[in-house]
Every structure is written in structure tokens, then in C-alpha cells.
């Protein structure tokens, strides 16, 4: 059974949110979905780049108000 987890990294600057995501990604199981909340605009372009390089799946990324919501799935 895959799990869904939200990581609240609002109000931290680069590379804080990305490092938070990577920390939780290491602990997650294959198939789990993680949602990263971030107010850092640089993170919004860095996360898809990291996901692409490492080989996970970017599900969605949208800005709601001041907060980026980025959903990713662990693939390996």
C-alpha cells in the first residue's frame, strides 16, 4: 500500500526545501507520493531538475497563493 506524505518546508531558503525532500525520499518506499510545500521560488525549478536527474516521477507542481505544491513519486 503506497503512502502519501506532505512535507512542510515553507519559509526556508534554498537548498533547505530540496534537502528536506531528499531526506524524506530516502525514508519513503517505492511507489509512495510526497508533496513538498515551499515558498522558495528557486526550489520550484530545482526540484523537477533533481527528480529528472535522480530518476523519480514529477506528478505536479503548482503555486497556490505564495506556496508551491510539488508532488513527486518515488520510483526506485
Partner 1 sequence: MSQNYHIVCLTGTREKLQMAAMFASVAAATGDRVTVFFSMNALPFFIKNSVQQPPVESRFGEMIESEVGVPPFKQLFKSAAELGDAKLLPCSMALDLLKITKEALDPEFGPPTGLTRFLNDAEGGQLLTF
List residues binding partner 1 (CB under 8 A): 11-16, 18-19, 22-23, 26, 46, 50, 53-54
Q: Least distance to partner 1 from the beta carbon of 69, Å? A: 18
51, burial (CB in 10 Å: exposed 0-12, middle 13-18, buried 19+): buried
Q: CA 53 to CA 38: how far, in whole Å?
A: 20
Q: How far is the CB of 1 from partner 1 (least distance, A)?
A: 26
59 labelled catalytic: no
Nearer Cβ to partner 1, position 16 or 35?
A: 16
DSSP 28: S
57 strand-pairing partners: 73
Which active-site residues does the annotation give? 14
Amino acid at each position: 500500500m503506497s503512502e502519501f506524505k506532505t512535507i512542510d518546508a515553507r519559509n526556508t531558503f534554498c537548498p533547505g526545501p530540496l534537502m528536506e525532500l531528499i531526506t524524506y525520499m530516502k525514508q519513503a518506499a517505492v511507489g509512495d507520493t510526497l508533496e513538498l510545500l515551499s515558498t522558495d521560488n528557486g526550489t520550484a525549478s530545482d526540484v523537477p531538475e533533481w527528480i529528472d536527474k535522480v530518476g523519480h516521477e514529477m506528478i505536479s507542481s503548482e503555486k497556490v497563493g505564495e506556496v508551491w505544491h510539488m508532488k513527486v513519486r518515488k520510483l526506485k
